[in-house]
Amino acid sequence: MDRKEFLRTSGILSLSSMAVIAAFIESCKKTESSAPQAPTVNFNLDLTASANSSLNSVGGYVYNSGVIVACIATNSYVALSQACTHQGCTVAYASGSFNCPCHGGRYDTNGNVTAGPPPSPLKKYTVTHNGNNLNIAG
């Protein structure tokens, strides 16, 4: 292979490599934005209802209207959007953390990312506890 042929061949390879890299980056951008928008909600949960009974135990949680509501301590509740901000998988609560089963994303009780690929925090909702009722709004 002479010098001209080498330069022409390596130039073609470089251009095709750049096209592959650009296509890869574009596909990554599309997956990063696939998480659904966090909903705007205003609903009540009756703590005496059997559907919400897990909220009477520390560590228990329920899903409602796109929101995960967890009991993080006695009479202390947190409500976050349930869809992981990476690709939209549903998070679950365990051991003081909201965890995504898909790629290891983790969030603290304020919704802030503590591990994994999520690009942004979970939306946090206001929880008002009044007797046997929780109001979740935001």
- Applying the rule CB under 6 A, the residues between 30 and 69 that interact with ligand FES are none
- Applying the rule CB under 6 A, the residues between 97 and 136 that interact with ligand FES are 100, 102-105, 116-118
Assess contact for 98 and 69: CB atoms under 8 A. Answer: no
Instruction: Report which secondary-structure segment, H or E, holds 7.
Output: helix 3-32
Of 100 and 136, nearer to ligand FES (C-beta) is 100
Which residues are paired to 126 by β-bridges? Answer: 137
Q: Give the residue, chosen from 55, 86, 113, 134, that forms a contact with ligand FES under the rule CB under 6 A.
A: 86
Told to check if 137 binds ligand FES by CB under 6 A, we report: no
Residues 52-55: contacts with CB under 8 Å, at least 24 apart: 55/134
| 106 secondary structure, DSSP code | E
Instruction: Name the site residues for ligand FES (rule: CB under 6 A).
Output: 84, 86-87, 89, 100, 102-105, 116-118
